[in-house]
Amino acid sequence: AAAEKGGYDSFMEKEINDQPDAVGQTLLGRTDAKGNLVLDELRIDESILRSVDKIVVLACGTSAYAGSVAKYAIEHWCRIPTEVELSHEFRYRDPIVNEKTLVVAISQSGETMDTLMAVRYAREQGAKVVAICNTNGSTIPRESDAVLYTHAGPEIAVASTKAFLAQITAAYLLGLYLAQLRGNKFRDEINAVLSDLNEMPAKIQQVLDNADAVKKLGRDMADAKSVLFLGRHVGFPVAMEGALKLKELAYIHAEGFAAGELKHGPIALIEEGQPVVVVLPSPRGRDSLHSKVVSNIQEIRARGAVTIVIAEEGDESVAAFSEHVIHVPQTSTLLAPLLTTVPLQIFALELASAKGYDVDQPRNLAKSVTVE
Ligand code: G6P
């Protein structure tokens, strides 16, 4: 087993460190010499893909947060209304799905029963289903119209890490492909995003190479009773995923919030010493989201929060008043989750390890849940 872990203490640590490869492999071979996206495996008639008027992303757990990131990207690039729903909620509420709906089912294992049942239901209503899956020949891809495999390699640790980054990558490719197919006016943007995507493996490696500070933070916070996570735009699902990792691995109360929602309730939770991890949008982004989240940091600091801010390289805006700042390389707004997620995974891994827990096999959880 030690050899399988590639010299790391756990499969999870190994899988976190495999992420440059997981993303690189998922991108590999999916563009032609001219830089156009070629998704041959997407065996759904192009005329059907062109006529899609709604996308519904279905998944559970970590895969559902990958779906939430996908929503921001797909709507922006394709201008197709996109919903994300937990598979087990979807099927039981009489959802509106028909021949013009494209369902994207995201599942690492391809065996999650809730997602499989949702896929069956959607196809019965006439929807086409594309699976984004990490396991060759598993049930969900077999029962879907097409599959876009993530090539993260086998994921052994129960809590998902490299599959998550690979799922987000595959979802970006799908979104860009649909935009290309539908002839959206984003040709330049598509090319720019593709070249940013190709830089991601090296940038993820940089985050891994500079992880000492976040590792120390994880160990130092091993006695925290609760940790809150704030994010906005694509940073919101990243915050949710950071909180999920901590629940799964360290068994402490953790919750992710949309930063804009803080004033509508969660700020009441802030008291002296409360650790809050904040995913700060890029200052180069649109809509002044950066300054709004900086204000949130000031609001919670004024109430005693201890803040850990994930910020873009070169962003020193909170250095003067945030206890801890972790920098990740710059990229375009929509791609940032491939970088900002990584310190949160490492934080949870270190914190749980410091508590002496088995990070590969957390209590009560299964790698794949094959019952409804
Ligand atoms: C289980 C695992 C999670 C995973 C979820 C969805 O709950 O413990 O890590 O995110 O299932 O699994 P899937 O294989 O469908 O992505």
Question: Does the C-beta of 147 come closer than 6 Å to ligand 1?
Answer: no
Active site residue 203: no
Read off the tokens for 211.
């992880």
Q: Are 351 and 221 in contact (CB under 8 A)?
A: yes
For ligand 1, atom 4: residue with the closest CA: 61
Q: What does the alpha-carbon distance between residue 176 and residue 315 come to, in Å, rounded to a whole number?
A: 29
* 135-167 residues labelled b (16+ CB within 10 A) or e (exposed): beebbbbebbbebbbbbbeebbbbbbbbbbbbb
CA–CA separation, 48 and 63 (whole Å): 26
CB atoms within 10 A of CB 332: 15
* Pairwise CA distance, residues 250 & 355, whole Å: 7
Interatomic CA distance for residues 337 and 238, integer angstroms = 6
Q: Is the CB of 160 under 6 A from ligand 1?
A: yes
- Atom of ligand 1 at shortest range from CA of 115: 15
- Rounded to whole angstroms, the Cα distance separating 216 from 213 reads 5
Residue 107 Cα, ligand 1 centroid: separation in angstroms? 7
Within a 13 Å sphere around the CA of 91, how many CA atoms are in the beta-carbon half? 19
Which residue has its alpha carbon closest to ligand 1 atom 8? 367
Rounded to the nearest 10 degrees, what angle do helices 187-198 and 200-209 cross at?
40
Which string of b and e fits 208-247 if b means at least 16 CB within 10 Å? beebeebbebbeebeebeebbbbbbbbbbbbbbbbbbbbb
Q: What is the pLDDT along the chain (372 residues), one digit of tens a residue?
A: 667 898 999 999 999 999 999 999 999 999 888 878 888 888 899 999 999 999 999 999 999 999 999 999 999 999 999 999 999 999 999 999 999 999 999 999 999 999 999 999 999 999 999 999 999 999 999 999 999 999 999 999 999 999 999 999 999 999 999 998 888 667 788 888 999 999 999 999 999 999 999 999 999 999 999 999 999 999 999 999 999 999 999 999 999 999 999 999 999 999 999 999 999 999 998 778 999 999 999 999 999 999 999 999 999 999 998 999 999 999 999 999 999 999 999 999 999 999 999 999 999 999 999 988
The first and second tokens of residue 69, run together, are: 């990131």
CA torsion, ordered 125, 131, 137, 142, to nearest 10 deg: 10
Mutate which of 15, 57, 63 for ligand 1 pocket (most atoms within 8 A of beta carbon): 63
The DSSP H or E segment spanning 306 is strand 306-312
Q: Is 370 in the pocket of ligand 1 (CB under 6 A)?
A: no
DSSP label of 230: E
Q: Is the CB of 63 under 6 A from ligand 1?
A: yes
Whether 300 and 257 have beta carbons less than 8 Å apart is answered as: no
Q: Establish whether residue 112 lines the binding site of ligand 1, counting it when its CB lies within 6 angstroms of any ligand atom.
A: yes
Burial of 32 (0-12, 13-18, 19+ CB in 10 A): exposed
Give 243 Cα–ligand 1 centroid separation in angstroms: 15
Task: Give the Å distances, CA to CA, from 174 to 45, 147, 178, 206, 355.
Answer: 15, 11, 6, 26, 40
Choice from 58, 112, 149 to test ligand 1 binding pocket (greatest atom count within 8 A of CB): 112
Ligand 1 site, residue 369, Cβ cutoff 6 A? yes
Cβ(87) – ligand 1 distance below 6 Å: no
Q: Walk across the sheet containing 101-107 and list its strands.
A: 82-86, 54-59, 101-107, 128-133, 146-149
| CA separation for the pair 63, 260 (Å, rounded) | 24
Ligand 1 geometric centre to CA of 64 (Å): 9
